[in-house]
């Protein structure tokens, strides 16, 4: 028995080769636009310290994170090996930490006139041109310059003095719904804003936006979820490779009689004599409680229903129909994998693949395969 089996631990396997192939596929799809990568939230839960080098080795030179701390970590990972790679901080420059942004050579996304004034003043104080990205809001109403601020900036372009403006970006709200009218409205609003602002490259599409066509690409696309296997074309077959495989370790197997209940709240009662496998994964591992009585697993290619509530550390499956030789403590049930992809798990949980990935816990034995270092 290997050590993870001996320890009764479930297995999380992350395929870095699949991440690199997904990035290359998105790059080819977006060309002539350049292709970056969103690696915020620890590369969507898959581990930025391993994913970032795999992407850089594949040719990626633009990395998007949410926070300063994520930016510092990614920039350290890129280190001396990829000094030409840029790391962009989407949440903007934190006013009390500008020196850290500068020393880590991070590039903030400026989301308001306030951000612009702050970063431009820092540049003038230091008498250096500081790199920056300008974000205009075209329909998210979240971050980015609202139309009135774009107007102000167009009237007072000197506010940008001291800045090395790398590109102007906006973010799509409905890219996963290709015929949503907001897509075209955002495209028009972006074009309007660009016509009033300095002529620099542009960045538009997220994962799903890449598949909306060249009008939505700009000069640099910023896919995240698709890199990690989430379907960027939700109503069509998934063009991406699966990255994450989660195999739950069976801790115990038992038979229960008809009418016996399973788990907290007795939310499932056996309708016949039933074989139950109890597996080492629970909501504390990001195996969402909303999968209670709704999820499924696979054992020896046979689909087995998740029954009862997902608890903190454990989940139970009805394995009555599974091959008996595989139903033993120490064996594995596939919880996420090629035949139960992240989007299917998300649908069963009533959420999106993004949340399944970013919730992946830290009690699994993590293995990385397919990396260029292997």
Which residues does the annotation mark as catalytic? 40, 264
Peptide bond into 32 cis (omega under 30): yes
**Closest residue (Cβ) to ligand PLP?**
224
Alpha helices in the chain (DSSP H): 3-6, 16-30, 40-44, 48-58, 68-78, 98-103, 113-126, 147-155, 181-196, 207-210, 342-349, 353-359
Contacts of 293 (CB under 8 A, 6+ apart): 267, 268, 306, 307, 308, 309
CA angle (225 as vertex; 14, 369 as ends), nearest 5: 15
For position 207 contacting ligand PLP by CB under 6 A, the verdict is yes
Provide the token pair at 81.
């090996």
Cβ neighbours around 272 below 10 Å, total? 10
User: Is the four-CA dihedral 22, 228, 223, 230 of positive or negative sign?
Assistant: positive
Residue 224 interacts with ligand PLP (CB under 6 A)?
yes
Q: How far apart are CA 102 and CA 241, in angstroms?
A: 36
Residues 6+ away with beta carbon under 8 Å from 9: 249, 280, 363, 364, 365
By three-state DSSP, how is residue 102 classified? helix
171 or 187: CB nearest ligand PLP? 171
Q: Which of 235, 217, 251, 240 is nearest to 357 (CA)?
A: 240
Binding mask 21-40 for ligand PLP (x = CB under 6 A): -----------------x-x
The least distance separating ligand PLP from the CB of residue 275, rounded to whole angstroms, comes to 40
Nearer to ligand PLP, 220 or 319 (CB): 220
Least Cβ distance, residue 36 to ligand PLP (angstroms) = 9
Contact call for residue 231 and ligand PLP (CB under 6 A): no
Q: Which stretch binds ligand PLP (CB under 6 A): 14-22, 74-82, 188-196, 219-227?
A: 219-227
Contact with ligand PLP (CB under 6 A) among 12, 132, 225, 345: 225
| Contact flag: residue 335 with ligand PLP (CB under 6 A) | no
Chosen residue from 222, 249, 268, 296 binding ligand PLP by CB under 6 A: 222
Stretch that binds ligand PLP, among 45-53, 186-194, 216-224, 242-250 (CB under 6 A): 216-224
**What is the four-CA torsion angle of 174, 360, 369, 75, rounded to 10 degrees?**
70
- Considering the complex, what minimum distance in angstroms separates the CB of residue 76 from ligand PLP? 21
CB of 266 vs ligand PLP, minimal distance in Å: 39
Q: Is 193 one of the binding residues for ligand PLP (CB under 6 A)?
A: no
Q: What backbone phi and psi angles, to 5 degrees, belong to 130?
A: -95, 135
- Kindly tell me which residue out of 27, 50, 166, 171 binds ligand PLP, with binding defined by CB under 6 A: 171
Token pair, residue 371, equals 């990396």
Site string for ligand PLP, 130-169 (x = CB under 6 A): ----------------------------------------
* SS3 at position 247: strand
Q: CB-side exposure of 172: number of CA atoms within 13 Å?
A: 31
Nearer to ligand PLP, 112 or 252 (CB): 112
Q: Which is nearer to ligand PLP, 27 or 40 (CB)?
A: 40
The closest alpha carbon to 115, from 129, 138, 94, 87, belongs to 94
Q: Which of residues 40-99 bind ligand PLP (CB under 6 A)?
A: 40, 90
Q: What are the residues binding ligand PLP (CB under 6 A)?
A: 38, 40, 90, 171, 206-207, 222-226
């Amino acid at each position: 028995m290997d050590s993870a089996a001996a320890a009764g631990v479930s297995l999380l396997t992350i395929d870095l080769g699949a991440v690199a192939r997904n990035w290359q596929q998105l790059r080819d799809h977006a060309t002539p636009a350049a292709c970056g990568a969103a690696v915020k939230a620890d590369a969507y839960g898959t581990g930025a310290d391993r994913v970032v080098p795999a992407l850089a080795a594949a040719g990626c030179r633009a990395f998007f994170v949410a926070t300063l701390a994520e930016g510092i970590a990614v920039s350290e990972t890129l280190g001396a090996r990829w000094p030409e790679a840029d790391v962009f901080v989407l949440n903007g420059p934190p006013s009390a930490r500008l020196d850290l942004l500068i020393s880590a050579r991070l590039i903030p996304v400026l989301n308001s006139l306030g951000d612009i004034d702050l970063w431009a003043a820092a540049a003038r104080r230091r008498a250096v041109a500081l790199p920056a990205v300008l974000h205009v809001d075209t329909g998210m109403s979240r971050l980015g310059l609202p139309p009135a601020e774009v107007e102000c900036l167009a009237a007072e372009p000197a506010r940008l003095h001291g800045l090395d403006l790398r590109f102007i970006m906006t973010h799509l709200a409905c890219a996963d719904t290709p015929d949503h009218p907001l897509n075209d409205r955002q495209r028009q609003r972006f074009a309007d804003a660009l016509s009033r602002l300095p002529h620099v490259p542009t960045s538009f599409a997220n994962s799903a936006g890449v598949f909306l066509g060249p009008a939505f690409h700009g000069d640099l696309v910023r896919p995240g979820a698709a890199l990690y296997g989430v379907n960027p074309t939700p109503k069509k077959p998934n063009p991406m490779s699966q990255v994450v495989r989660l195999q739950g370790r069976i801790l115990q197997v038992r038979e229960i009689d008809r009418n016996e209940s399973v788990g907290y709240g007795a939310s499932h009662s056996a309708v016949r004599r039933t074989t139950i496998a109890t597996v080492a994964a629970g909501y504390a591992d990001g195996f969402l409680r909303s999968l209670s009585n709704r999820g499924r697993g696979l054992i020896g290619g046979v689909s087995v229903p998740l029954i009862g509530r997902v608890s903190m550390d454990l989940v139970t499956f009805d394995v009555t129909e599974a091959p008996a030789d595989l139903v033993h403590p120490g064996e594995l049930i596939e919880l996420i994998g090629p035949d139960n992809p992240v989007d299917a798990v998300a649908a069963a949980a009533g959420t999106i693949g993004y949340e399944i990935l970013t919730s992946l816990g830290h009690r699994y034995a993590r293995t990385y395969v397919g990396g260029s270092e292997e």
